[in-house]
Amino acid sequence: MIFTTYWFLLFAIAAMTVFRLLPGPVLRQGWLAVACAVFHWHFAGPAGVKPIIVLMILTFLAGLTRRGWVCVLAMIASVAALCFYKYSLFLIGSAVAPFSAALAAALARLAKSVMPGAPPLGVSFFVFEFVHYLFEVRRGGEPIRNPVKFLLFAIFFPSLVAGPIKRYAQFLPSLGEAARSPFSSADLAEGLARAGLGFAKKVLIADQLTAYIDYFQPHFDEQGFLGQWIILAAIAFRILMDFSGYSDIAIGCARILGIRLPENFNWPYAARDLQDFWIRWHISLSLWIRDYVYIPLGGGRQGWPRRSLNALVAFALCGLWHGPARHFVLWGVYHGCGLGLCATYARIPQLGRVVEQVIRRDPVIGWAVTQLFAWLGWLLFFYPTAEAWHMARQLFGL
């Protein structure tokens, strides 16, 4: 919603114009830092900004020490903050309530009394970027010594709300180049085209599909066979258009400033298998999960059973990252299982070889199975488990 507000439009025009008019990298970066702080303050409010400032200072200082254990402690603090702000009520409800309802109620009351009304804006993105930064510094990467540059890495306004999740080794050179380089009409034109595409995806397609789904989904059972599948397609395209539209706006706005952000989507509904899907869908998150969860867990180095388990854990966390609810975890596990199956089905005696040959001979079958799997997964993502199961059964006439 933030990118489709008039306030953002006015802010973006002012911030980008002044950035381009100012001479020299110091003034430009200083101005951009002020603009990003204004943006963050406006949309997050004081309650949303304070925890991020604390985490930011902690991460910055921990990075400067370059000591492994300090970085690990700072990472733990970041993840703990994320768990506290986003998942504490969910964790209390899931882990404590089954054993003691009274204790769960008391803990929930305590948590609510110290938490702001809603989790700080973009807290998941902040934490992921901070963990990435600390992880890389701990591994020997060069820390960011300039606080303004670190601030810009942390609260760069185009990517603050919904990513893409940046990598500092990629972002900082691009920022430096943008601050030094003169105005480029190519950047402006391409940035405007990209942001315009994003607005069109979001407003003209995603929002209209949302209205369609909001109207028809409650009457899902009454729809015919075709109508039910059209609703599923609408759900699948709505999330793609909405999320990739947001990413396009972020990438386009950054491009107008002369800064390159990583791509986040690459035609995911053209994927021919589930691994391919996750290389194309929310790429910056997939790569983050791969680099900072899956590989540290052991990745695919210890045989296929361990590899499948690692994928399952990584994707359960990926699901949980999307929101504090069981159906998100299930969605993650669903994809984890799918990836496990995708990586191992060929080993199934006889049947596996046959299936592999069929898919190799006719890639359309692989594409259809992958999309069916991913699209059905959206039911789990958007609706409570029982409702998603009911809808899935209806789709197959069961």
Partner 1 sequence: MNPPTPHFPPPARYGWIRPRWFLIGLAVGLGSLAWSGWKISRTDYHPGFTRFHSLISPEGNYYPTLDEMCAIVRAKCRPDQILVIVGGNSILLGVWQRGEDIWSKRLQELLGDRFCVINFAFRGGSPTDGGAVVAEALRREFPRQILIINEAPVTNVESFGHGPYRYIFWQAYFGGKLMDAAPREKQVREYLRDNPDQRLPVLETRISIWFDSALHYHDFWNWITFKYFGTVPSYREEYFPHFLRPRRVYPDPEVDGTDPVYLEHHYPVSALDAEMRIMRGLSAFYHREADGRWVLSERSTSDLAMYSNEAFPAPLKRRTLVLISGNSPYYRRLLTEGERAMVRQTFVDTVGIWRRVGYPAMDYGWDYNADDFGDRTHLTKLGGWKLAAQVAPEVSALAERLGYFR
For residue 11, give Cα distances in angstroms to 4, 15, 298: 12, 6, 45
DSSP string over 365-379: HHHHHHHHHHHHHHH
Instruction: Tell whether residue 284 is a contact of partner 1 (CB under 8 A).
Output: yes
Establish whether 322 is a catalytic residue.
yes
Instruction: Pick from 188, 205, 239, 297 the residue near partner 1 by CB under 8 A.
Output: 188
Nearer to partner 1, 122 or 324 (CB): 122
Nearer to partner 1, 6 or 396 (CB): 6
Q: Smallest distance from the beta carbon of 101 to partner 1, in angstroms? A: 33
Residue 159 CA to residue 3 CA, distance in Å, equals: 11
Decide: 160 and 121 in contact? Cβ < 8 Å: yes
Instruction: Pick from 14, 47, 54, 189 the residue near partner 1 by CB under 8 A.
Output: 189
Instruction: Tell whether residue 276 is a contact of partner 1 (CB under 8 A).
Output: no
Instruction: Tell whether residue 17 is a contact of partner 1 (CB under 8 A).
Output: no
Instruction: Tell whether residue 86 is a contact of partner 1 (CB under 8 A).
Output: no
- The two three-digit tokens of residue 183, written as one number: 């105005």
Residue from 40, 42, 132, 322 carrying the catalytic annotation: 322
Q: Where are the alpha helices (DSSP H) in the chain?
A: 6-21, 25-65, 68-82, 88-91, 101-114, 123-138, 147-155, 157-160, 168-180, 185-199, 207-216, 225-256, 274-280, 283-289, 303-322, 326-344, 351-361, 363-382, 385-395
Nearer to partner 1, 208 or 302 (CB): 208
Decide: 324 and 356 in contact? Cβ < 8 Å: no
How many helices (DSSP H) and strands (DSSP E) are in the chain? Answer: 19, 0
- Binding mask 132-171 vs partner 1 (x if CB under 8 A, - otherwise)? ----x--xxxx------------------------x-xx-
- Binding mask 212-251 vs partner 1 (x if CB under 8 A, - otherwise)? x--x-----------------------------------x
Decide: 171 and 156 in contact? Cβ < 8 Å: yes
The catalytic residue positions are 322
Binding site for partner 1 (CB under 8 A): 5-7, 9-10, 136, 139-142, 167, 169-170, 185-186, 188-190, 192-194, 208, 211-212, 215, 251, 260, 262-263, 266, 280, 283-284, 287, 290-291
